[in-house]
A and B are shown apart, each in its own frame.
Chain A
Amino acid sequence: MTQIEPGTEVNLTDGAVVQASVGTRWVPLSDESVVLDVLTDRVFRLNSTAAFIWELLQEPRRVGELHAAVATAYRIDETETRNATDDLLRQLLAESLIGTTAQGTGTWESTISKKE
């Protein structure tokens, strides 16, 4: 898996697997979640929808699986689900808060181990 630079176009296929980086710590706070990136010492606030997805990302998830979970939880149409979910995943990737690997392209490797 490669480190994603900000602004990089990422192809998030339904089969791609994403997961929270091991260098993140988080805690839910009402309808938000607070995520700490221990490497950069930056704190991220996730709104309720982002927090819902973040919680799912504590385990490896296929992008398609996330689309389905968001669609079910928020009862929104497929296009809106994809746009909202993929937009968040790109932001998380750009901030190295999650790592990704395409289906069948290799073993899981977190972004934090890549940085080290």
Chain B
Amino acid sequence: MTIVTLRVRITSDSAPTYFPTDRDDALAKLLVESRRRREALFAGLVLRLADTHPDVTARGDLGSCFEDFRQLPSDERSELAGHPVFALALQQFLRVDFDADDAVLVAEAASMTAAYRRARDAMRDRDVARIGRTELRRWDTDPLIIERAPPTYIFPPAAERERRAGEDIYTLERFAVIAEAALARIGDVWPQLRRWFDWLVRVIVQVPDAPYRSASAARYRGVVFLSSDDTTLMELEESLVHEFGHQILYEVMARSPLLVDGAAGTYRLPWSGARRDFYGYLHAFYIYLLLALYFERAARDAGHDAVEVRLLLGHIVGGLREARRDFVADGRFTEAGAGFISSLKKELDILEERLSEAPAPVA
């Protein structure tokens, strides 16, 4: 099923970077558009099922569920459409074979309805742990996220999850206090980024035993996995901003591919030495540029250690300079991708110019 939007088109010459800056409302437009597409897709699938299998729709709860969705105030419906559990359920529903037996269709419709209700309840439930508006989960993570998480994280079986929920020494409540503090600092440094964080990172799954600082993937966008490896507030800030950047790119690439199929090669990331394919390298370039812009601001914030921040900023910008030569607008990029990378490189040029003019910090 494909979606076509019919309306007057407004085009612009410059490709946006989608960074949360005052001069660029592209991120806001992107997210609104992404949610509206999901709303339309849900409507289309319900219409389709009602058309071909009216009895299935009548027997289940899908019709009333969709009516509930339709009657929601538009901001609430948009928030729900952006919820990863709703999005994952919709992905599954999209794969339904409408020629299947009624029993199969009834089960699929019930699964969609149940996920819809879980997402809606999660948004309203005051007992759900949160940092800001972002849900904070561990062993109570939604089954659809648990299903899609591997290989990022393989959850233990349900019985073990239940047992461990009462045994963890590093509780979720304790993590929430620290993460709240990190997010507050992000808000001090870059208020727009903090605001958009709630829109993009809808669920944080904190798993103390994960073998990384943070992780996410396009297949379950809106969800971020965090371990307990961040030992300082600034490290946690970095992880949160890093994952925020990934979420932007997932949204951008879901709308229009930036790379042509089969863009090959393996690259060493200048920041960590890790090896990545070109897709991963592009993600890293984008995220480290976002981090550079973040730490440039943090260096001016009284709550941050300017010397520590500038050291980190120097390391990040050094890596960006090194990586820049690999990002030539060549055949690996789509037209949208070529414009995008050109805008990122311009942003890096401007950043370097600003940094060269900035006074050295007082140690």
- Which residues of A are interface residues toward B (Cβ below 8 A)? 25-32, 34, 36, 38, 41-47, 50, 84, 87-88, 91-92, 95
**Which A residues touch B2, using CB under 8 A?**
41-43
**Which B residues touch A31, using CB under 8 A?**
74
Q: List 28 A-B contacts (CB under 8 A).
A: A25-B48, A25-B50, A26-B47, A32-B36, A32-B39, A34-B39, A34-B40, A34-B44, A36-B43, A38-B51, A42-B1, A42-B2, A43-B4, A43-B44, A44-B3, A44-B4, A45-B4, A45-B5, A45-B7, A45-B37, A45-B40, A47-B5, A47-B6, A50-B7, A87-B8, A88-B6, A91-B6, A92-B6
A116 CB to nearest B CB, Å: 16
**Structural contact, A43 and B3, CB atoms closer than 8 A:** yes
A82 CB to nearest B CB, Å: 15
**A45 and B36 in contact (CB under 8 A), knowing A27-B70, A29-B70, A30-B77?**
yes
> What interface size band does chain B fall in?
20 to 34
- Which residues of B are interface residues toward A (Cβ below 8 A)? 1-8, 36-37, 39-41, 43-44, 46-48, 50-52, 70, 74, 77
**Which B residues touch A50, using CB under 8 A?**
6-7
Closest to A95 in B: B4
In whole angstroms, what is the CA distance A88 to B39 when docked? 22
**Which A residues touch B41, using CB under 8 A?**
43
**Structural contact, B47 and A27, CB atoms closer than 8 A:** yes
A86 CB to nearest B CB, Å: 13
**Structural contact, A32 and B40, CB atoms closer than 8 A:** yes
Q: Which of B6, B48, B51, B74 contacts A44 (CB 8 A)?
A: B6
In whole angstroms, what is the CA distance A95 to B5 when docked? 11
